[in-house]
Amino acid sequence: MRDLRIEKLANHLITYSIDLKKNEKILIEVIGIDGIPLAKAIMKEAYKIGAMPFFHLIDQSLLKEMLKDLSEEQVKLYAKYDEARMKDMDAYIGIRASNNASEMTGIAQDKLKLYNELYTVPVHFVERVLHTKWCILRYPNNSMAQMSKMSLEDLEDFYFKVCNLDYRKMSKAMEPLVELMNKTDKVRIVGKDTDLNFSIKGIPAEKYRGTFNVPDGEVASSPVKNSVNGYITYNTETSYNGVTFNHIRFEFENGKIVKATSNHTEELNQILDTDEGARYIGEFAMGVNPYIEKPIGDTLFDEKIKGSFHFTPGDALEESDNGNRSSIHWDIVNIQTPEFGGGEIWFDDVLIRKDGLFVLEELLPLNPENLV
């Protein structure tokens, strides 16, 4: 049963998510040995179509040890070789299956900043994102099950149901929302301790439909960089660099986060001070995956929660670029379904979503009962 589900997912990744072609080269990067079964299945699917698979296995405990006393010369050299390999690739699939979600806790912020700026940005934000067909996903293991507060068996059932969703159907249902966002100027979001106003005028909207991420299910744009005013209080837990944050609250003036508080206010502000762009928003997106109903502590799942939106400090998406540049891109989620306090989203003074459900007739196909 599980093997069949893995095979179905691997086939979906190769033939739909990255649409790999004969003779193309694909790098399969695996963080943690638990992801190896899926990596093997992906390799088999790649060979079936005559493509050339390569792999890279990362152990986070070794990466952490290297980061402890990382030098600028060292990280530049480390990035040089991985960037060169990425340049040779046509496609990339990243499988994240770490056995400890908090492995990077305790690394000094200056070392993390050095690594993000000199390794993550050139290798991933530039070379991978801009020059390959790519997709990133998790793989269920005991660490993820503990984080999700599920048994491993229950997590696997949830995982494969979500990841093997009919994304072609979802893609079609997303079209009217993309069209509406492309015509919209003013956005207002209201909810519990949240009242945001901003413009998305001239910023292209994009549907995320099982290509860049699996699971998927979001339609995204970005605020005009200096247009955000008001405040937001996020109602989900989120982790960054090994630190778990709750009750994050941002206040904005002309696009910039001028006040930020949480259960770890000092660490939060250190992240936002990474660079100039980290205090501006690089993405506004609405989650629509019908099978994801609550946070499990994993951003790749949580940002697609039905009835949610995320408002992301940091680097703007290539597809919806508002010009903001940063070495961070932090998707923090707010859920507006009734059990999470409700809320409303307005486009040009017209209510488009209330308490997590779309209310305009052309957007009704995106409501959960129509996507399952």
pLDDT tens, residue by residue, 157-201: 999 999 999 999 999 999 999 999 999 999 999 999 999 999 999
In this prediction, residue 102 carries a pLDDT of 78
Q: What is the pLDDT of residue 1?
A: 53
pLDDT, residue 109, reads 87
Q: Is the entire prediction scored with pTM above 0.85?
A: no
pLDDT in tens, 25-51: 999 999 999 999 999 999 999 999 999
- Residues 4-31 have pLDDT tens digits of 999 999 999 999 999 999 999 999 999 9
Domains and CATH numbers, the chain: 2-163 (3.40.1830.10), 167-366 (no CATH)
Q: What tens digit of pLDDT does each residue of 229-255 get?
A: 999 999 999 988 878 999 999 999 999
3-class SS letters over the chain: CHHHHHHHHHHHHHHHHCCCCCCCEEEEEEECHHHHHHHHHHHHHHHHCCCEEEEEEECHHHHHHHHHCCCHHHHHHHHHHHHHHHHCCCEEEEEECCCCCCCCCCCCHHHHHHHHHHHHHHHHHHHHHHHCEEEEEECCCHHHHHHHCCCHHHHHHHHHHHHCCCHHHHHHHHHHHHHHHHHCCEEEEEECCEEEEEECCCCCCEEECCCCEECCCEEEECCCCCCCEEEEECCCCEEECCEEECCCEEEEECCEEEEEECCCHHHHHHHHCCCHHHHEEEEEEEECECCCCCCCCCHHHHCCECCEEEEEEECCCCCCCCCCCCCCECCCEEECCHHHCCCEEEECCEEEEECCEECCHHHHHHCHHHCC
Mean pLDDT of 341-363: 98
